[in-house]
Amino acid sequence: MKQRTVCGTVVFLTTLALVTAQVAAKDAKPAKTDPTERGRAYTALFYDGKVDQVWEHFGEAMKTALVSKEQLQTFRDQVNEQIGEEAAVVNEEVIRAGSFHVYSRHARFKKFAEVIEVNWTFDDKGVVEGFYIRPQQKPAETQYLDHKTKTDLRLPFDGAWFVFWGGRTIAENYHVVAKDQRFAYDLVIMKDGSSHSGDGTSNEQYHAFGKPIVAPGAGVVAAAVDGLPDNPPGEMDAKNAAGNNVVIDHGDGEFSFLAHLQKGSVKVKKGQTVQAGDALGLCGNSGNTSEPHLHYHLQTTAVSHYGEGLPAQFQNYIADGQPISRGEPTKGQTIEHGAATSE
């Protein structure tokens, strides 16, 4: 999970922090509350250079990430300089992700050859908690779309967790552009529509921080890293992307990666045999992450960034209250390990 990024030819910014701040309404509030209309309204305000009005709708995490309205104005100027005005809308959609709406708009611009994605994330009250503009991305090519997981996998935790990123499309899962993380997951714990209590400035305020993480399946520990610090929320360690992590060799060319564990919590060592449900460590905020969460993916090798991602079909879990005997969780679902009697 990333809070803000500058990347590629087009400068863009994002925030995926989950907060429940109130929007300052005033006269800047879009008249429409339909998610599609709201997304269009925010886009129009940004295109028109009305950054003061856009700023009024940003949640506290967005304002903290950007520092000031002047930074937002600079971003607007860069967008105008690099890609120009919007020429035509290719398509637009809104998906629901827990208590949030994600408005995604694909369009062509006068100064840029590729299709551009404009993306807003906001809650029911219109508080903006995510915004980026970037070239449209495509899922990484894979030969494993029809792969059936050979390992008997369970969810790598107990209790109810929320799928923040997960699925096979870009809208559901930003990981899909990476070959090794083609089917990866980012998981948090949500309470009252937020991943944290208070202002979200300390790791201890995040509901997932310190929660036990367990082996999703039987195997041998291929790698175990501990000792890296937990970042303050909003700060990331790009040099140690996975942070404290455990890699499990399940056999049959399937390797589980569990990343961003809490410093000092990793309980296993390389070469150790584990069974499904064995304790691995605690959820933390180490590595290239903006807030405490668990990153999980299955791939074909034990080496990070080498190999190809595999679909992870978990067994016997509950998704949004429904029993699933075997399946792949998707963005926006609340999932927990438990007996299932039907699919």
Tell me, what's the pLDDT at 28?
Answer: 36
Enumerate the domain spans of the chain.
Answer: 26-135, 161-337
3-state SS assignment for residue 284 = coil
Residue 342 predicted with pLDDT over 70 = no
Which fold would CATH assign to domain 161-337?
Answer: Glucose Permease (Domain IIA) (2.70.70)
* Section 76-104 average pLDDT: 90
Residue 286 predicted with pLDDT over 50 = yes
21-35, 133-147, 229-243, 260-274, range with the lowest pLDDT: 21-35
Average pLDDT along the chain: 88
The model's pLDDT over 206-261, given as tens digits with 9 standing for 90+, comes to: 999 999 999 999 999 999 999 999 999 888 898 999 999 999 999 999 999 999 99
15-24, 33-42, 121-130, range with the lowest pLDDT: 15-24
Tell me, what's the pLDDT at 55?
Answer: 96
Tell me, what's the pLDDT at 281?
Answer: 99
The model's pLDDT over 303-336, given as tens digits with 9 standing for 90+, comes to: 988 999 999 999 999 999 999 999 999 999 999 9
Sign of the torsion formed by the C-alpha atoms of 286, 291, 297 and 300: negative
Q: For strand 212-214 and strand 254-261, is the pairing parallel, antiparallel, or unpaired?
A: unpaired
Asked if residue 102 lies in contact with residue 95, where contact means CB atoms within 8 angstroms, the answer is yes
State the burial class of residue 320 (Cβ atoms within 10 Å of its Cβ: 0-12, 13-18, 19+): exposed
Tell me, what's the pLDDT at 234?
Answer: 80
Q: Which residues contact 318 (CB under 8 A, 6 or more apart)?
A: 324, 335, 336, 337, 338, 340
Residue 172 to residue 104: CA distance in whole angstroms: 11
pLDDT band at 32 (very low <50, low <70, confident <90, very high): low
The count of other CB atoms within 10 Å of the CB of residue 108 is 16
* Section 45-56 average pLDDT: 96
Which one has a higher pLDDT value, 320 or 60? Answer: 320
Asked if residue 241 lies in contact with residue 10, where contact means CB atoms within 8 angstroms, the answer is no
Which one has a higher pLDDT value, 6 or 175? Answer: 175
User: Is CATH 3.10.450.590 the right assignment for the domain spanning 26-135?
Assistant: yes
